[in-house]
């Protein structure tokens, strides 16, 4: 396998500047990798090889003449919903005709302005409403580490493409864990920035559960990516100003107080995930952090009770409005989602959700008081079977739980002013990666990256010739 396919963005750009590697070389290696493996993985909905080659040649020239920009020549796979001017957006649906984008999404503009090469678009579940990635329109996307499993969702195509060496960076978005779940299931780094940090596309950008964000294979790459895409944009007036820039390096974790929860207050968590989470905690403690195990007083029912009315009035209304009378043409899980959320809208008001959301936020604030951050697993399950709609639940060490309980990400969308960095924690016996979330206090982005960088240094997971999917 060509090692160029797994170079980090920071490594690529250092070599481009030194003149011993060209963006053309990396792009061609990744296009060849895509041709070799994506017919079985189904991570990309389309590739733009010709335009990408032209961009790569332009980037090669810019490195020669000293005009390289902040992400010059680095390949990025864009989540299909992140609109690109002149290209169709269909969100994996047969029940909606979609539209041709008149302009780029803010995240796309930022990447292109920084010199990135967008060479492919990545698969999602229909309308990005599921924790797995498959649809009637695009088929089943599989996990490079173990094809029997999904890469998670909704940014599953992005996670799979990174794990397979088909791209250097990938865009993602997160409304219930759609960045962090796929990052954990595919052994990558994903960042759910606090609400407003990264501008989005309306009207869903007004939804305070969601946000666009970065995914990469290293913490440094995600820092670089975040710095490029964050900051105010006139198309999204909730985007925060002034722009916050993360530092290029971070101090160690000596003296930090980190709260630890393995089950977030009674969720069923696979034994291997719990063990790997405690392994991360032990490494941080050895490095000088104080780790204190904490208990949550909230319940799973409270969290789901807060989220479902919100999803019903926002995502459910959005999907229903787009497809109109074509609900029967939706994928089976999307039909179920429309019906469930229609019932929720009929029985609950947004104020009902607000009361439950406040209770969730209040409890997280209580638990985190006196600590610099919270450490917990990203997922509860060691994998979601590929192609499974999860309507019968998920088996976690012999206990069947609801599909919403396969990941442990949702509380931090309810508390979406908190930054959350998802980093790998190891592997399960089935070959699937596992991960942890580092949860910060509101808008304290730097601390979660400080801890994430320490975890990466203490327990390296960098993709090497001996540590990567056996494609």
- CATH number of the domain where residue 109 is located: 3.90.1300.10
Residues 323 and 280 in one domain: no
Taken in order 84, 87, 89, 92, the sign of the CA dihedral is: negative
Q: What are phi and psi of 283, to 5 degrees?
A: -65, -40
Residues 277 and 400 in one domain: yes
**Residue 401, class by beta-carbon neighbours within 10 Å (0-12 exposed, 13-18 middle, 19+ buried)?**
middle
Q: Is residue 10 one of the residues assigned to a domain?
A: yes
Q: How confident is the model over 393-427, as pLDDT tens digits? A: 999 999 999 888 999 999 999 999 999 999 999 99
Residues 6+ apart with CB under 8 A from 308: 340, 341, 344, 348, 353
What span, in angstroms and rounded, lies between the C-alpha atoms of 150 and 181?
A: 11
Residues 279 and 227 in one domain: yes
Residues 329 and 280 in one domain: no
Q: Is residue 431 one of the residues assigned to a domain?
A: yes
Marked catalytic residue, from 178, 205, 230, 261: 178
Residues 397 and 338 in one domain: no
* Alpha helical stretches, state H, 312-418: 317-323, 332-347, 350-368, 411-414
Coil/strand/helix, residue 187: coil
Are 232 and 22 contacting, i.e. CB atoms less than 8 angstroms apart?
no
Q: Pairing relation of β-strands 75-79 and 117-122?
A: parallel
Taken in order 406, 412, 413, 419, the sign of the CA dihedral is: negative
Query: Any catalytic annotation for residue 39?
Result: no
Query: Any catalytic annotation for residue 79?
Result: yes
Q: Is residue 327 one of the residues assigned to a domain?
A: yes
Q: Which residues of the chain have pLDDT under 50?
A: 1
Where in the sequence is the domain holding 276, given as residue range(s)?
3-302+351-458
Residues 219 and 323 in one domain: no
Residue whose C-alpha is closest to residue 47's, from 109, 123, 113, 125:
123
Q: What are phi and psi of 288, to 5 degrees?
A: 115, 0
Residue 176: per-residue pLDDT: 97
Residues 343 and 409 in one domain: no
Residue 2: per-residue pLDDT: 64
What span, in angstroms and rounded, lies between the C-alpha atoms of 436 and 438?
A: 7
Residues 297 and 307 in one domain: no
Structure tokens at 399: 């206990």
Residues 113 and 138 in one domain: yes
Residue 1: per-residue pLDDT: 47
Marked catalytic residue, from 22, 59, 128, 154: 154
CB atoms within 10 A of CB 99: 11
Residues 257 and 338 in one domain: no
Q: Pairing relation of β-strands 169-174 and 134-135?
A: unpaired
Q: How confident is the model over 77-90, as pLDDT tens digits? A: 999 999 999 999 99
Marked catalytic residue, from 8, 59, 79, 331: 79
Residue 464: per-residue pLDDT: 85
Query: Any catalytic annotation for residue 261?
Result: no
What span, in angstroms and rounded, lies between the C-alpha atoms of 284 and 50?
A: 46
């Amino acid at each position: 396998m060509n090692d160029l396919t797994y170079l980090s963005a920071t490594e690529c750009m250092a070599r481009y500047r030194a003149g011993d590697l060209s963006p053309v070389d990396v792009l061609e290696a990744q296009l060849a990798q895509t041709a070799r493996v994506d017919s079985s993985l189904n991570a990309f909905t389309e590739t733009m090889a010709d335009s990408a080659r032209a961009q790569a040649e332009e980037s090669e020239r810019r490195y020669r003449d000293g005009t390289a920009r902040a992400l010059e020549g680095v390949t990025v796979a864009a989540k299909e919903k992140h609109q690109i001017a002149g290209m169709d957006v269909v969100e994996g649906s047969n029940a909606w005709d979609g539209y041709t984008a008149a302009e780029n999404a803010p995240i796309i503009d930022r990447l292109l302005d920084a010199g990135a090469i967008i060479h492919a678009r990545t698969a999602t579940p229909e309308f990005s409403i599921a924790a797995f990635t498959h649809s009637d329109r695009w088929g089943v996307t599989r996990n490079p580490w173990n094809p029997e499993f999904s890469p998670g969702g909704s940014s599953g195509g992005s996670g799979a493409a990174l794990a397979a060496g088909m791209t250097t960076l990938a865009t993602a978005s997160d409304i219930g864990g759609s960045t962090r779940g796929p990052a954990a299931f595919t052994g990558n780094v994903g960042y759910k920035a606090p609400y407003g940090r990264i501008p989005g596309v309306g009207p869903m950008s007004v939804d305070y559960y969601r946000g666009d964000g970065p995914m990469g294979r290293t913490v440094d790459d995600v820092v670089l990516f975040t710095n490029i895409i964050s900051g105010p944009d006139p198309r999204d007036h909730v985007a925060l100003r002034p722009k916050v820039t993360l530092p290029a390096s971070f101090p160690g974790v000596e003296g930090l107080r980190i709260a630890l929860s393995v089950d977030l207050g009674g969720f069923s968590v696979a034994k291997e995930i719990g063990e790997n989470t405690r392994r991360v905690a032990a490494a941080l403690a050895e490095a000088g952090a104080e780790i204190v195990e904490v208990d949550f007083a909230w319940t799973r029912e409270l969290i789901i009770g807060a989220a479902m009315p919100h999803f019903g009035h926002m995502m459910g209304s959005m999907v229903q409005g787009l497809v109109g009378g074509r609900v029967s043409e939706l994928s089976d899980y999307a039909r179920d989602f429309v019906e469930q959320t229609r019932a929720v809208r009929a029985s609950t008001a947004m104020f009902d959700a607000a009361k439950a959301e406040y209770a969730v936020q209040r409890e997280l604030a209580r638990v985190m008081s006196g600590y610099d951050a919270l450490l917990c697993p990203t997922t509860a399950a060691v994998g979601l079977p590929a192609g499974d709609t999860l309507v019968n639940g998920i088996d976690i060490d012999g206990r069947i739980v609801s599909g919403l309980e396969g990941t442990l990400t949702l509380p931090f969308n309810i508390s979406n002013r908190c930054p959350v960095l998802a980093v790998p924690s190891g592997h399960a016996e089935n070959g699937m990666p596992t991960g942890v979330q580092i949860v910060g206090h509101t808008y304290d982005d730097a601390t979660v990256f400080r801890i994430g960088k320490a975890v990466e240094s203490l327990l390296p997971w960098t993709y090497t010739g001996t540590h990567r999917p056996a494609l």
